Amino acid sequence: VLSTDDVASAPRDQRHKRRGVAGNFFIFKAAGAACDRMLSFDECERIAGKANDHTFTMGVALSPCSLPQTRRPNFEIGPDEMEIGMGIHGEPGIAREKLKTADEITNEMLDRILDEMAPARGDKVAVLVNSLGSTPLMELYIMNRRVKQRLDEIGVSIHASWVGNYCTSLEMAGASITLHRLDGELQTMLDHPCDCAMFRAG
């Protein structure tokens, strides 16, 4: 199963060509829960694929990262610019724009996610607001607040949310938003207990 949650990296009719980014958080969680429940290999594969199909991510970069082997930034961007849709390894995004407020950036990313996800009133999601490395929690929680406001406006409820450093690119400044659309099966996988070095739930 390949993760393809990055809505910016290819058109929706070419989802198989998309990158896997922070949505791996939910995809791996579902796959791990299925394995821990001792489901068959085919069932684990099916659930992981389903989780991928229900996961949508969009990111924004405000600065590059410096690769350890070169110690040089992997791309250049102005102090008043942002790159919408950039990959976690510095892959090009879909637009370079002047820096906006946190609410405006969140709205722009959510517009693209919601357009593709097309949620219905009454749907339930899990949310991940992820730092790309150096964006602090205070700024991430401002974005998380706006995500909640937007979802409330369209009648979509949040079952669970995570805010922090989960899928980073060294010291890159920026963030991503992931929505994971839940049904009964995926909610069960998400709620399944997990206790490992980097993540604990349930």
DSSP the chain: -----BTTSS-GGGGGGPPP-TTHHHHHHHHHHHHHTT--HHHHHHHHHHHHHTEEEEEEESS--B-TTT-SBSS---TTEEEET--TT----SEEEE---HHHHHHHHHHHHHHHH-PPTT-EEEEEEEESBS--HHHHHHHHHHHHHHHHHTT-EEEEEEEE-SS--TTB-EEEEEEEEE-HHHHHHHHS-EE-SS-EE-
pLDDT band at 126 (very low <50, low <70, confident <90, very high): very high
Check which CATH number belongs to the domain holding 38 and give it.
3.30.1180.20
Q: Looking at 16, 54, 89, 192, which residue is catalytic?
A: 89
Is there a domain that residue 199 lies in? no
In a domain, 40, yes or no: yes
At position 146, the amino acid (one-letter code) is: R
201 falls within a domain: no
pLDDT of residue 71 exceeding 90, the answer is: no
- CB contact set of 62 (below 8 Å; sequence gap of 6+): 77, 82, 99, 135, 172, 173, 174
Q: What are the pLDDT digits (tens) for 111-125?
A: 999 999 999 999 999
Q: Could you read off the pLDDT of 86-113 as tens digits, one per residue?
A: 877 777 788 899 999 999 999 999 999 9
Separation between Cα atoms, residue 4 and residue 176, nearest integer Å: 15
Query: For this structure, is 89 an active site residue?
Result: yes
Q: Into how many domains does the chain fold?
A: 1
Residue 6 within a domain: no
Residue 5 lies in a domain: no
What integer is the mean pLDDT of 49-65?
A: 94
Q: 7 in a domain, yes or no?
A: no
Residue 180 scores a pLDDT above 90: yes
Q: Which domain holds residue 126?
A: 12-193
Q: State both tokens at 136.
A: 């602090």
Name the average pLDDT for the chain: 93
Residue 68 falls within a domain, yes or no? yes
Contact status, residue 108 vs residue 95, Cβ threshold 8 Å: no
* Pairwise CA distance, residues 150 & 111, whole Å: 10
**Confidence check: pLDDT of 183 > 90:** yes
Report pLDDT for 88. 77
Tokens (6 digits) for 43: 């069932």
In a domain, 34, yes or no: yes
Give dist(CA 157, CA 28) in Å, integer: 22
pLDDT value, residue 30 = 98
In which residue are the tokens 């390894």 written? 89
Could you tell me the sign of the dihedral formed by the alpha carbons of 36, 38, 44, 46, in that order? negative
**What is the pTM assigned to this prediction?**
0.94
